[in-house]
Structure 1
Amino acid sequence: MRTIEITESDGILLAGLVVDGRLTDLAAERPARPGLSGAVFLARVERVDRVSAAAFLDIGTGRSAFLPLRGPEADALRAGAPVIVQIIADPRGDKGGGEKGAEATRDIALPGATVIHLPFSANVAVSHRLGPAAKRDWQQRLAGGWIVRAAAAAVPPDQVLAEAQRLGRRWEAVADRAETTRAPALLEPAPGAARRLILDHPDVARVVVDGAALLPPLQRWAAAAVPELASRIAGGPTPLGDALDALLAPTVALPSGGSITIEATRALTAIDVDGGRSPDHLRTNREAAAEIARQLRLRNIGGTVVVDFISMRRGGDKAAILNAFRAALADDPLKVQLGEALSPLGLAELARERRGQALAAIIET
């Protein structure tokens, strides 16, 4: 059974996906200092750097946001001009010990449970999991910019179209606010950890909310945004807060007796696989591949990740581990790019999309 559990522990909001009693995904945030990822702003252009093809924006938070520019955008934008943007990466520390501002995009995306609205696009993209027949069908049913998510396969088409209408009206309200507001201004707040996880997993059997203050606003939001799910949201105890200590520990034990150790640096995240007492290195590497894919999601690790698997001599074993790792990463809701081959020393390199702050960064702030 798949459930979502939501609770607040020591000032941190936790939302976790639990599959058959095992935590597989975790989203976290500090409600007192919510992240910006997903928020839509009417920003004011501070300056345009044509050398780096980027604009620096005032979004009203006291720290400039960074907007990469493509082609003619660098010539079209002028200092002082208003521009609608969405934050796709929260501010984070850089290699020099400072902090990089939030990263923005002009490709606005308003997420729903079955569709994502792209108001500045004219294309309809369909999840490859739905197949070519569904792709043709949805491209005929929808007009404008949309991404049809895999979850659309589990509900009637009318439900998907109803959600598309809600998202269309929501964008119209955002656009109206932009017309009557002076930059910089927040047009649409970030969805937050709990709401984003619910939208990513609308097929859960239930959503359990531990906290009298958390339940009513979440129920009101669900009634408006995902009414089909609203009846499955209820109060109740959750053990989610107990998972934090284990998720902050650098070492994770594997069933075979081996372990993985996770260490974050400024440039990348390094993960070492240790065989421990296990003589079967292939088995330990397989276990590690599955657990690393899980830990990336639980700890919200983004950017470059290098995994040092236990060395294997046979080329067939290396290929088997890489295939197992690729399969374990396939269900990640964020974009993951895995290298085509292991290095001679057994290193695997991947890049994982950043969404919000890593769990460790949230806990430490």
Structure 2
Amino acid sequence: MKGKTVLLDHIAGRQAAALMVDGKLHDLLIDPPAEAPPGVGAIFFAVADRPLKGQGGLTLQLGDGLTGYLRRARDISPGDAFFVQVSGMVEPGKAIPVTPDLIFKSRYAIVTPNKPGINVSRAIRDEDERDRLLEIAHGAMSGEHGLILRSAADGAEAQAIAEDIDTMALLAQQVLGHQDTTPELLLAAESAHGLAWRDWDNPDEVVTQDGCFETHDILDAIDIARGPYQKLNGGGHAYIEATRALIAVDVNTGADHSLAAGLKANLALVRDLPRLLRIKGLGGQIVLDLAPMPKRDRKQIEDAVKKSFRLDGSDIVVAGWTPLGHLELTRKRDRMPLSQVWPDA
């Protein structure tokens, strides 16, 4: 299965989408169970509850018994009401992280309320194309909201881009026009199929038949992804296991016993780590127990980690090396773990 293939199916009555690149599972989206906390991107009308002393934040009432948590909540008092958007995933029962900076995101356009200005993704470098997109944007966008044209707009038809801008601008207008003062959910998080359409642009093939996960061996790939053991290019392997406190990654060289075996296995791991974490839905604190290698190679590993996640479009922080030689990272939790959304057999 060469090229980029998007497969849309249903698992246990919930939407599921898989992205295969050259025959390898590259990304996986599954709608969470109904009882799961709201996903990233959901928008609420919230009421400030109480500040958390020493943390610089406060809790919010989101309606239906849900509690939100807003960091760096300056100039906000209990009882204040405003719009917020879910910014990360948490375990059930914990306060949901939110932000007051709303975005309305589609395939081509991101509308940014109350942040005027029209911009084009820096990934689009051709000046003529940037000028074309700016002309489309200025013709389609009006009002006090801002607009960012995503990299997927590169080469897209003008009418499709204009319609996308209009749809997002209208959605923003409808949500921000909310009049009731009761905390409640105003816009649910995007579904798995919706996210696939929005973020997996320019596929070579889209498969929508029911049961396509089975006929295209996606179920086998997911079974491998669910387990801790992961093969690496070059013959090494890794174990990726989640605990309540952190994600532990153990790297092994396999049958390679050469002097450079440790470095090769470690590089293979960090190059594939963004994909593996994304499919598994893992984030938070990550500790890499790397294969043995000289200390002089640590800088090369750090650079490879930063490059790998940058190319993937993921935000990470490299915290550094521990006295025991472990490399610590943090990655945003932006989806539920695969172990929680995939139904048990």
Q: TM-score, normalised by structure 2?
A: 0.83
1:42 to 31, 42, 45: 45
CA shift, 1:60, in A, is: 1.9
Structure 2 CA distance for partners of 1:187 and 1:292, relative to 1, 3 Å: same
Structure 1 unaligned spans of 5+:
94-98, 213-233
Q: How far, CA to CA, are the matches of 2:263 and 2:90 in structure 1?
A: 39
For 2:226, the equivalent position in structure 1 comes to 248
Q: How far, CA to CA, are the matches of 2:126 and 2:292 in structure 1?
A: 41
For 1:319, the equivalent position in structure 2 comes to 299
For 2:62, the equivalent position in structure 1 comes to 59
For 1:159, the equivalent position in structure 2 comes to 160
Structure 2 CA distance for partners of 1:146 and 1:345, relative to 1, 3 Å: farther
| Matched residue count | 331
For 1:91, the equivalent position in structure 2 comes to 90
CA shift, 1:333, in A, is: 3.9
1:296 to 273, 277, 283: 277
Q: How far, CA to CA, are the matches of 2:250 and 2:42 in structure 1?
A: 35
CA shift, 1:118, in A, is: 1.1
Q: How far, CA to CA, are the matches of 2:131 and 2:49 in structure 1?
A: 43
For 1:145, the equivalent position in structure 2 comes to 146
CA shift, 1:23, in A, is: 0.9
AA matched with 1:202: D
Other structure's SS at 2:291 match: coil
AA matched with 2:17: A
CA shift, 1:295, in A, is: 0.4
For 2:174, the equivalent position in structure 1 comes to 173
Other structure's SS at 1:41 match: strand
- Does the 8 Å contact 1:124/1:139 carry over to 2? yes
Q: How far, CA to CA, are the matches of 1:51 and 1:132 in structure 2?
A: 48
Structure 2 CA distance for partners of 1:260 and 1:12, relative to 1, 3 Å: farther
Q: How far, CA to CA, are the matches of 2:324 and 2:132 in structure 1?
A: 47
Q: TM-score, normalised by structure 1?
A: 0.79
Other structure's SS at 2:87 match: strand
Q: How far, CA to CA, are the matches of 2:214 and 2:252 in structure 1?
A: 39
**Superposed CA RMSD:** 3.0
2:329 to 318, 343, 350: 350
CA shift, 1:167, in A, is: 0.5
Structure 2 CA distance for partners of 1:10 and 1:163, relative to 1, 3 Å: closer
CA shift, 1:206, in A, is: 3.2
- Does the 8 Å contact 1:35/1:192 carry over to 2? no
AA matched with 2:289: D
AA matched with 2:217: P
For 1:78, the equivalent position in structure 2 comes to 78
Q: How far, CA to CA, are the matches of 2:250 and 2:113 in structure 1?
A: 43
- Does the 8 Å contact 1:6/1:210 carry over to 2? yes
For 2:264, the equivalent position in structure 1 comes to 283
Equivalences for residues 104-253 of structure 1 within 5 A: 104-131=98-125, 133=127, 141-142=137-138, 144-176=145-177, 178-179=178-179, 181-211=180-210, 237-253=215-231
Structure 2 CA distance for partners of 1:342 and 1:145, relative to 1, 3 Å: same
Structure 2 unaligned spans of 5+:
none
Q: Deviations over 1:245-293 (max 9, x none)?
A: 2112111122433211112122221111111211222222222122222
Other structure's SS at 1:321 match: helix
Identity of aligned residues (%): 25
Structure 2 CA distance for partners of 1:298 and 1:173, relative to 1, 3 Å: same
Structure 2 CA distance for partners of 1:291 and 1:335, relative to 1, 3 Å: same
CA shift, 1:59, in A, is: 1.5
AA matched with 2:185: L
Q: How far, CA to CA, are the matches of 2:240 and 2:44 in structure 1?
A: 35
Q: Deviations over 1:155-214 (max 9, x none)?
A: 2455333311211011112223x12x34122211111222123211122233322439xx
Other structure's SS at 1:8 match: strand
